[in-house]
Amino acid sequence: MLTRKQHELLCYIHDHLAEQGVSPSFEEMKDALDLKSKSGVHRLISALEERGFIRRLANRARALEVLRMPDRAGSAPTPGDNVVPLRPAATPPNPRIVANDVVELPLHGRIAAGTPIEALQGTESLAVPAALLGPGEHYALEVAGDSMVEEGILDGDYALIRKTDVARDGEIVVALVNNEEATLKTFRREGTMIRLDPANRNYSPQRYRPEQVQIQGRLSGLLRRY
């Protein structure tokens, strides 16, 4: 049985994965459940993982997979209820991928995780475990710089990018600036401006007018070679 908050969080993660192809950030989960801090989200995530409803995937920026779901059919629980009945193992929102499946992604050069640099377009490809990818079309970029280290994105990593031209606050995106420079940053809206945030206290946010920024994808995963 799940508590009401555990049930709400699991349903939110499931729906977000089905809609966006990537699990929500801890900030998004905190806001969706009206929690006061991210520590509450961590406790709920740990409880769901221990009960076998979700798992965390290694080397993923947003690394949650829903394994089974509670039964949401019928009437909603009454305000006094604190548990939710479960149904047998449900089909995950995306088909399970065999662990050793490999996908060849186009590798489009290097992308800045520091000062924006010219976006390089190459013809190479990168072999990527299919389990690291969600739905949709993807490509890979080699990370150059250290401004996203506090998100665990290091110089020389390969960023696995899901193609999209839209982004929500808090998502890590590939942003093309002034049609000539690409950078990997956290996307924010700040009044009438777009703010691209680094994850390194030694770097400052970059602010642009909306017409200067074109979203070219969202971070789906990371690949690191040793």
**The pLDDT value given to residue 81:** 43
Spell out the domain ranges in the chain.
2-84, 102-223
Q: If 0-12 CB within 10 Å is exposed, 13-18 middle and 19+ buried, where does residue 156 land?
A: exposed
Query: Going by C-beta distance under 8 Å and a sequence separation of 6 or more, which residues neighbour residue 54?
Result: 10, 13, 45, 48, 64, 65, 66, 67
70: DSSP letter = B
Active site residue 46: no
Catalytic residue chosen out of the listed positions 23, 25, 30, 147: 147
Mean pLDDT of the residues in the chain: 79
**The pLDDT value given to residue 144:** 87
Rounded to two decimals, the pTM is 0.55
Query: Going by C-beta distance under 8 Å and a sequence separation of 6 or more, which residues neighbour residue 139?
Result: 105, 106, 107, 108, 161, 163, 217
Active site residue 163: no
Catalytic residue chosen out of the listed positions 23, 25, 30, 185: 185
Mean pLDDT of 95-109: 65
Residue 88, token pair as written in the block: 């047998």
* CATH entry, 102-223, from 2.70.50.60, 2.10.109.10, 3.40.50.1820, 2.60.40.420: 2.10.109.10
Asked if 84 contacts 75 with a C-beta cutoff of 8 angstroms, the reply is no
**Does the structure show a pLDDT above 90 at 107?**
no
**The pLDDT value given to residue 1:** 67
C-alpha 15/C-alpha 18 separation (Å) is: 5
Using one digit for the tens of pLDDT, what is the confidence trace for 35-51? 888 788 888 988 888 88
Using one digit for the tens of pLDDT, what is the confidence trace for 208-221? 999 999 999 999 88
DSSP string of 158-172, one letter each residue: EEEEE--S---TT-E
**Does the structure show a pLDDT above 70 at 187?**
yes
Give the CATH architecture of domain 2-84. Answer: Orthogonal Bundle (1.10)
Confidence of residue 199 (pLDDT cuts 50, 70, 90): very high
Confidence of residue 21 (pLDDT cuts 50, 70, 90): confident
Mean pLDDT of 151-159: 92
**The pLDDT value given to residue 43:** 85
Mean pLDDT of 85-100: 44
**Does the structure show a pLDDT above 60 at 155?**
yes
